[in-house]
Amino acid sequence: MTVDWSWHAVAEAFPLLLRGLVVTLEITVLAALLSYVLGLVFAVIRMSRIPVLSQLTFLFIEAVRSTPLLVQVFMFYYVLQSQTGILLSAFLSGVIVIGVHYACYTSEVYRAGIEAVPKGQWEAATALNLPRGRVWTSVILPQAVPRVLPALGNYTIAMFKETPLLLGIGVLEMLNRAKEYGAETFRVLEAYTLAGVFFLVISYIASVMVRRLESRVGTL
Amino acid sequence: MTWDTDFAISILPRLLQGLWITIQATMAGIAIALALGLIVAVIRYMRVPVLSQVLGFYVLFVRGTPLLVQAYAAFFILPTFGIVLGPLLTGIIVLGVNYSAYTAEVYRSGIEDVAKGQWEAATALSLPARPTWTRIVLPQAVRSIVPMLGNYWIQMFKDSAILSAITVSELLYVGQTIGADQYRYLEPLTIVGVLFLAVSYPAAVLIRRLERRLAISR
């Protein structure tokens, strides 16, 4: 068995995959930002024990965590559009679905971070008659957020690795570019190997950075 | 477009068949992951020269690349070498190999948690390597990591939906096919979501309970 490896094909596929990589990174960054903000909102709603709303948030989080991301991608893209007539691009749909999906995971991270803040901080804030909003923004969150940064970093890497799922709804991210190139030239070995190497290198560098961050701020 | 119950009932048998394939793929996949992960963990722990480093890179490589990329690579590249396995078998192997890199790390944490005195006692009794592993270390290591392995099992169950991309006729693939044929995605995709939920949520609750039980009795 001889491996038929063509460096010419690698050179040809390289710029194509780079263009896909830009899309992959755009999706990752936007979805990550969405998950950071929405996850925090979910966590605060759940912990504030607002009747009905807190329970609904809990149910939503459990349902999202118990179903596959790919199923959610298809549901959002096909069902929502046919039901409501709202037309979102595949790119934007992907960002929203990945962002909301991971918000259900980051909310648990925030919750752990908030619970790690000593109870005395809450009591002191109450004793000082601080309004509820100020307690969150000035006392609790500034202490909770730094500790959750490494966990958020790990979820960001996970999101980066989930972006290929969006080829199912036609987003031209990196794997889709590799597939396209492989289908046109039949050089599947080079195309997929190159895509794999790109993913590996970026996620490895990112995980080293997260580990460094971890040693600086400590884990939960 | 409103919900059509008659249509939903008419497609249910086909979707249940898809769920059965999903369950089969997950069962076979987790069996591979549990066995292969254990082998990788033990070899890495014993620091076999060269082999340990190769397996270290294996774990890094598998964890660093997306499952879908691995599935595509296996599905499209292997046939160019004359290896034609069919979608389901390819999918099962990809799932098993992918998760073996994660279970290997779980086993490693379990093995490292076994008290050092257990190893020393085994050496003092001049127990050969094999019974030291099978009778002393692994029974203690596995106990504490059962819930973690269980969580990976559930995760694999959900990840098996990815195999629809390589035409494995599992639950999501069946749902998508019905949706594309009938131009109705609401019912098939909703049922797909509900079926995934109906299996993975009770499983997660069970594992949480198991975790609590194993934690108390230690």
pLDDT digits (tens, 9 = 90+) for B46-79: 999 999 999 999 999 999 999 999 999 999 999 9
Backbone CA torsion sign across B190, B27, A98, A219: positive
As a dihedral over the C-alpha atoms of residue A26, residue A27, residue A30, residue A35, rounded to 10 degrees, the angle is: -150
Given CATH 1.10.3720.10, say whether it is the number of domain A7-217: yes
Q: Establish if A179 touches chain B: CB-CB under 8 angstroms.
A: yes
Give the up-direction half-sphere exposure of residue A75: CA atoms within 13 A in the CB hemisphere. Answer: 19
Say if the Cβ atoms of A164 and B69 lie within 8 Å: yes
Per-residue model confidence (pLDDT) at position B51 = 94
CATH number of B128's domain: 1.10.3720.10
* Nearest CA-CA partner of B156 in B20, B33, B15: B33
Judged against a pLDDT cut of 90, whether residue B96 lies above it is answered with yes
Question: Which residues of chain B make contact with A94, given a CB cutoff of 8 A?
Answer: none
pLDDT band at B18 (very low <50, low <70, confident <90, very high): very high
For chain A, residues with pLDDT lower than 50 are: none
Say if the Cβ atoms of B64 and A192 lie within 8 Å: no
Say if the Cβ atoms of A189 and B77 lie within 8 Å: yes
Say if the Cβ atoms of B65 and A62 lie within 8 Å: no
Angle at B72 between CA A31 and CA B105, to 5 degrees: 70
For residues B184 and B3, what is the distance between their CA atoms, to the nearest angstrom? Answer: 10
Q: Out of A182-196, B14-28, B123-137, give the one with best mean pLDDT.
A: B14-28
Per-residue model confidence (pLDDT) at position B217 = 56
Question: Which residues of chain A make contact with B162, given a CB cutoff of 8 A?
Answer: 68, 70, 165
Question: Which residues of chain B make contact with A69, given a CB cutoff of 8 A?
Answer: 158
Number of A to B CB contacts under 8 A, please give it. Answer: 108
Q: How far is A191 from chain B (nearest CA, A)?
A: 9
Calculate the average pLDDT of chain B: 93
Say if the Cβ atoms of A79 and B204 lie within 8 Å: no
Q: What total number of domains does chain B contain?
A: 1
Q: Which domain holds residue B76?
A: 5-216
For residues B83 and B81, what is the distance between their CA atoms, to the nearest angstrom? Answer: 6
Per-residue model confidence (pLDDT) at position A219 = 62
Per-residue model confidence (pLDDT) at position A86 = 83
Q: In chain B, whose CA is at the least distance from the CA of A59? A: B201
Residue type, B205: V
For residues B71 and A211, what is the distance between their CA atoms, to the nearest angstrom? Answer: 28
Please report, for chain A, the start and end positions of each structural domain, with discontinuous segments joined by +: 7-217
Q: What is the mean pLDDT of residues B132-157?
A: 92
Per-residue model confidence (pLDDT) at position A201 = 96
Per-residue model confidence (pLDDT) at position A82 = 80
Judged against a pLDDT cut of 70, whether residue B166 lies above it is answered with yes
Judged against a pLDDT cut of 80, whether residue B215 lies above it is answered with no
Give the up-direction half-sphere exposure of residue A13: CA atoms within 13 A in the CB hemisphere. Answer: 30
As a dihedral over the C-alpha atoms of residue A191, residue A193, residue A199, residue A204, rounded to 10 degrees, the angle is: -160
